[in-house]
Structure 1
C-alpha cells in the first residue's frame, strides 16, 4: 500500500476500534450495574444490554444509501455523534428506560458499512483485502481489550464513567476522521463494499448465505445472553466485580492463542467446514457446561475459556465463508444480510437472557441457548463444502462495456470461475482461484 493508503486504513481501523471498544466495554459489567436503576428488572436489563443491536440492524442499510447521496464523511460524523449522544444519555440515566433509550441511540450510529465504503473509496482494488483484514483485526483486538479493561474501569469510575468515556472516544474518532482521513474525490459504489437493495432478494434465496447468517445470529444471541448471566454468576460464586478481569484476561489471551491453529488448518488445508462444525460443537458444550458450573469460579473460567476458543474461531471464520459463498458482485449485499443478522442476534439474545434469568434461573439462560446451537450444528453439517475462491473487481473501459463477448472472454482466463458484469458500476465482478489467477491478464479490460 502507498503511504497515503496505509495512513488512511490505519486511521479507519482505529476509528472502528474506538467505536467497538466503547460498545463492548460495558458488556461484562452492564448486567451487574443496571440492577440498581429505577424500575430495573432482569428482563429490562437484558433489553438494555441487547437493544443497540436492534437499531444497528434497522439503520445499517439506510445509512449506506444515505452516504451515496451526501457523502461518506458527513454520514459517519452524524453516526458517531449519535453514538456519543447515546453514551451521554446512558451516562446520566438513573432510570432503566432512559438507559435503554441511551443504548438504542448508541446503536443508531450504524456506520459500519459506511466506514467500509469509505475505505473502498480510498484504496486501490489490489489492496482492499489487506485493508478489510486490518479493520477486522482491529475489531477483534478491541473486543479482547474491552473484555479485560471494562471490569477494571467500572470498578474505578462506575458504569456512568464507562459511558462517558465511550462518548469521548466517539468524539475522538470524529476528530481523527476529519483531521487525518482524506475526502475521496469520487465514491466507488462497489458491490463488494456494502449492500444494495436491488440485490437483497437474490441474497435471501441463497441457502448457504442464509445458513451463515443464521450462524452469526446465533453466535451473537448466545454471546449477549451469556453476558446477561455471567457477571451475576461470578459475583454469586464469590468473585467481586472489580476482580472479574482476573478471569477475563487469561481466558481471552489463551483462547486467542488456541484459535490460531484452527484458522490455519481451515484456510491452508481447506477444511473450513470441518473447523466450523468443531467450533459450533465446542460452543454448545461450553454453554451447557456454564449452566452446570455456576457455583465455581474455576468451573466458570474453564467453560468460558472453551467458549471463547470457539467464539474466536467462529467470529473469524464466518465472514470469510460469506465471501467464499457469495456470488460474484453480491458480496456487499451478502455481508449486509450477515451483519443485520448479527445485530438482530444481539438484541434477541439480550431479551431471551433477561426473560430466562427473571422467570427461571441463571442456569436456564445458558440451557435456553442450546436449541439454537443444535439447529446451527445441523445447518453446518448439511452445508456445502466451500470453494476457496476470492472476489475480484475490475473496472471496465468503454470498449470493454460494449464488448458483447466480454463475459465469455473473462471466463476463459485461468482461475476465473464466476463473472458478473454490472453496467451501472462500469465493472466486472469475478470469483477467482488465487492459485491460478493472474491479475495481469485483466489489463486489456481495465480503464
Structure 2
C-alpha cells in the first residue's frame, strides 16, 4: 500500500471517534486500580463484590458488543455512539452517588453496557477510504493509548488529593462534554434501509465467515491479546505495589504504555504495506517472552518494565491490527455485526484474564502465569494461518 494521509473532510470524524473512545478509556482506567478497594468501603462491601465490580465491566462490555454492532447496521454510527456514551454517563453518575456495594456493581455493569467500540470502528472504517483506514484506526489507537497512560499515571497521583467518588464525578463531566460534541457537531451517517433480504442474508453470511480460517484466526488473536494484556495488567501492578508501592506504579506503567504506543505507530506502517502476518507473529513472540519473564515472579523493576512493554506493545498492536484487517474484508451490510463479534471476543478475553488471574493470584499464582504463557503460544501459532485476503463470506 502506498502512503496516505487522512483527508481533511474525514479528519474531524476521526478526531471525534478518537475523543469518544479516548474519554471512555480515561473514565474507566483512571479508577480501575481502586475499584476493588472502593467497593469494600461501601455498605455491604466485601472483597468478593470488589472483584465482581472490577470484572463485570468487561463482561457486560463483551456481551453488548454484538447487539451494538448489529444496531449500527440498522441506525448508523452516530446514534449508537450517543446511546453508548449515554449509558456510560449514567453508569458513571450512578457510581458517584452510590453508597451501596450492590448498586456500585450495577453501575459498573451499566458502564460496560455502553459498548460503542464495534460501532465506532465500523463507522470510521465505512467513512474513510481503504487507503486511509490503517492511519485512521492508528490515530484513534494513539488517543486511546494516551488516555490510558494519563489515567494510569494520573490516577494514583490524583487519589492523594481527591476521592474515588470525585473521580467518578469528573469522569461523568468529561464524557458528557464529548457526548454533547458528538450530538451537535457531527453529521449523522447515512444507513441503507434494512430490507428482508438483508436480514435473511445475515445468517448465510455468518455461516460463511465462521468457516473462514482467516476470520477465526483474527478472533483467537483478539481474545488472546486481551486475555494476556488484562491478566498482566492485574499481575504486574500487584508486583509493583509490593516493590515500590501504589503511588509509584506510574513510573513503570506510564513509560511502558507510551513506548507501546510508539510500537503501535511503527507497526501500522508495516500493516499498511501488507505485513499483517509478520506483525501479528512478532506481537505473539512478545507475549511468549513476557510470559516466560512473568514466570520468574521477579520484582526487579527493569524486568517488570520489559514485561510491561512487551505485553502492552502486543496489546496495542493487536488493537490497531484487528479492526484494520476485519474492516478490510467485511461486507458493508454487516460491518457492525462482524466488528461486534470481534470486539466481543476481545472483551471476553479481558474478562477471563482479570477473573482467572484474580482467582488464582493468592494460592495458585504459578497456574495463572502458565495460562498466560500457553495463551501466548496459541496466539503465536495462530498467526501462522493468517493471510491477507480482502473479502470473505461474499
Query: Among residues 331, 347, 351, which one is paired with 2:351 in the alignment?
Result: 347
Q: Partner residue of 2:22?
A: 17
Query: Among residues 364, 369, 376, which one is paired with 1:366 in the alignment?
Result: 369
1:300-315 alignment runs, 5 A limit: 300-315=304-319
Using CA pairs below 8 Å that are at least 6 residues apart, which structure has the higher relative contact order?
2
**SS of the counterpart of 1:155?**
coil
Q: Distance in 1 between matches of 2:79 and 2:336?
A: 21
Q: Partner residue of 1:240?
A: 245
Q: CA deviation at 1:72?
A: 5.2
Confirm or deny that 1:255 pairs with 2:257.
Answer: no
Q: CA deviation at 1:88?
A: 2.2
Q: Distance in 2 between matches of 1:47 and 1:102?
A: 12
Residues 346 and 267 of structure 1: is their aligned pair in 2 closer, same or farther, counting only changes over 3 Å? same
Q: Distance in 1 between matches of 2:64 and 2:323?
A: 20
RMSD: 3.4
Residues 282 and 9 of structure 1: is their aligned pair in 2 closer, same or farther, counting only changes over 3 Å? closer
Residues 77 and 126 of structure 1: is their aligned pair in 2 closer, same or farther, counting only changes over 3 Å? same
Q: Distance in 1 between matches of 2:268 and 2:11?
A: 26
Q: CA deviation at 1:252?
A: 2.2
Residues 316 and 344 of structure 1: is their aligned pair in 2 closer, same or farther, counting only changes over 3 Å? same
Q: Partner residue of 1:148?
A: 153
- TM-score, length basis structure 1: 0.73
Q: Partner residue of 2:279?
A: 275
Larger radius of gyration: 1
Confirm or deny that 1:335 pairs with 2:342.
Answer: no
Q: In the TM superposition, what whole-angstrom CA distance separates every residue of 1:280-328 from its partner, at most 9, and x where no partner exists?
A: 1211221331342443333322321232233333332233333456578
Q: Partner residue of 2:197?
A: none
Query: Among residues 231, 235, 239, which one is paired with 2:237 in the alignment?
Result: 231
Q: CA deviation at 1:331?
A: 5.1
Q: Distance in 1 between matches of 2:25 and 2:98?
A: 21
Confirm or deny that 1:57 pairs with 2:59.
Answer: no
Unaligned runs of 5+ in 2: 1-5, 195-200
**Greater strand proportion:** 1
**Greater helix proportion:** 2
Q: Which moved more, 1:258-267 or 1:223-232?
A: 258-267
Q: Distance in 1 between matches of 2:260 and 2:75?
A: 42
- Corresponding pairs, count: 380
Q: Distance in 1 between matches of 2:362 and 2:100?
A: 18
Q: CA deviation at 1:64?
A: 4.2
Unaligned runs of 5+ in 1: 191-195, 392-417, 421-447
**SS of the counterpart of 2:361?**
helix
Residues 197 and 48 of structure 1: is their aligned pair in 2 closer, same or farther, counting only changes over 3 Å? farther
Q: Distance in 1 between matches of 2:334 and 2:79?
A: 26
Q: CA deviation at 1:342?
A: 0.7
